[in-house]
Amino acid sequence: MKKSLQSLFLSQNLLVLVFFVPFIKGNNRFIENVTTFLTGVTLSNYKYIRKSYIGVEESAQFKRIDSISVVSKTFNHEDAKAKFALDGAQYSLFCRQILNLRALDANPETMLAFCQDLAKTNPQIKIEAIVGKELEEKGLNLIYSVGRGASKKPCLVILKYEGNPQNSTDVLALVGKGVCFDAGGLNIKPTKAIESMWCDKGGACAVLSAFKAAVDLKLPINLVCSVAIVENLLGSDAYHPSDIIKSYKGLTVEIGNTDAEGRLILCDAMSYTQEVYKPNTLIEFSTLTGACMVALGLTTAGLFSNNDELVKELLDASSETSERLYRLPIFEEHRKAMKGKASDLNNISNVPYGGASSAGAYLECFVEKDVKWAHIDIAGPATSTEQFVYSDGATGFGVRLILEYIRRYRIKA
């Protein structure tokens, strides 16, 4: 690997901040409040900078807090819930750093190497990587088609962690969209839309960071993390609008628009993960539709699911972490709008409205019977323009949400 993604963290000026907190009655509530405050400080304590600072005044530089000391008879940073929340915030920063990397540094080649390096850190991690033409040979035609116009080979990477081998049938799958740069393919994106498309790997970065956290924290859970990693570019071998391509599941898909590529790589990743790794729950994260941003704005993710219990659990985790979700519907008109004329499906809706729901309806076609499924569209909250505790750029949305869901409902800690 030419350049390690983890090595690209920049050193900052250091500052030590000490809090003196008096004893307050109501121990649990006090610990929660301090934890929330420290989580906010941690999330604020980050800025993605690649400036040389040559000729820039010292006062203009971002200064990162190196450590925080809390002096209190009540608060203990080793409190299990507090420690878990603060660890989650650190892995959210980890996600932000990877997602903020531009396509020059984070491409299918380097992201694959990152996954391989991660697998080497723990013997409990198993990795399967399907790269380039191997995708086509295995029937993962949609992932291969989206990425074949780029010089860097597309890939599907699956990481497996058995933290609870005694209950091997209880498996949670996390699936992420990893479009390292989305130029739109032959339906090329226009100026003012294309420049920020380094962020289209937000789903993959979120699930990889949450997976790393689960492994590092030795959580007792069986976890599969699948990321479809491509660049959606223009090239001599790029796929075309009107192509009809057979998915891994066997359904044929007509390409109505090459810029609706996320659902194409996700459906193959979902199908392969379900067939080979047999999860009972599958949660997928993706920066999928501008329509979801129109519906919910920039700070709330859209939630689609086939299971009310899973929805409640995710909304509970959302409430705890303030990574906001709002459930959106999939109605029969959305399913009908995704039907193809010469194919089973089209990758874009035949009506111009309800795009977030029609995308969910498309993905729903690839969910197997008895699998609890949730699709979380993070197109809005994956990045920020200096809102709330977030500096400009990636927010790490989804990492703390996933970890809190695991803590509450998978390991019941």
Q: What DSSP line would sit under 54-111, residue for residue?
A: TT--GGGS-EEEEEEEEE-SS--TT-HHHHHHHHHHHHHHHHHHHHHS-TTTSSHHHH
Banded pLDDT at 267 (limits 50, 70, 90): very high
Distance CA 44, CA 6 (A): 20
Query: pLDDT at residue 7 above 50?
Result: no
Residue with tokens 């999860």: 279
The predicted structure's pLDDT at residue 171? 98
CB 413 within 8 A of CB 118: no
Distance CA 253, CA 231 (A): 20
Catalytic residue among 81, 83, 138, 189: 189
Distance CA 358, CA 381 (A): 20
- 166 burial level (CB within 10 Å; 0-12, 13-18, 19+): exposed
**Nearest alpha carbon to residue 108 among 148, 71, 165, 159:** 148
All residues at 6 or more sequence positions from 16 whose CB lies less than 8 Å from its CB, including other chains? 65, 66, 67, 69
Domain ranges of the chain: 5-85, 103-410
Angle made by CA atoms 308, 311, 316, in degrees to the nearest 5: 130
Q: Which range (34-43, 90-99, 145-154, 382-391) has the least confidence?
A: 382-391
All residues at 6 or more sequence positions from 237 whose CB lies less than 8 Å from its CB, including other chains? 148, 149
Q: Cα–Cα distances in Å, from 370 out to 2, 168, 263, 394? A: 43, 17, 21, 34
Residue with tokens 């409430």: 319
Distance CA 23, CA 46 (A): 30
263 is catalytic: yes
In a 3-state reduction of DSSP, which class is residue 394? strand
Banded pLDDT at 51 (limits 50, 70, 90): confident
Angle made by CA atoms 85, 86, 90, in degrees to the nearest 5: 120
3 is catalytic: no
Please name the fold of domain 103-410. Answer: Aminopeptidase (3.40.630)
Distance CA 36, CA 70 (A): 13
Q: What is the mean pLDDT of residues 402-409?
A: 98
Distance CA 398, CA 400 (A): 6
* Token representation of residue 319: 């409430």
Banded pLDDT at 55 (limits 50, 70, 90): low
Banded pLDDT at 93 (limits 50, 70, 90): very high
**Nearest alpha carbon to residue 92 among 391, 323, 396:** 396
Quick: pLDDT tens for 337-386.
999 999 999 999 999 999 999 999 999 999 999 999 999 999 999 998 87
The predicted structure's pLDDT at residue 26? 55
Specify the amino acid at residue 45.
N
Angle made by CA atoms 401, 406, 408, in degrees to the nearest 5: 95
Catalytic residue among 263, 324, 372, 400: 263
Quick: pLDDT tens for 178-217.
999 999 999 999 999 999 999 999 999 999 999 999 999 9
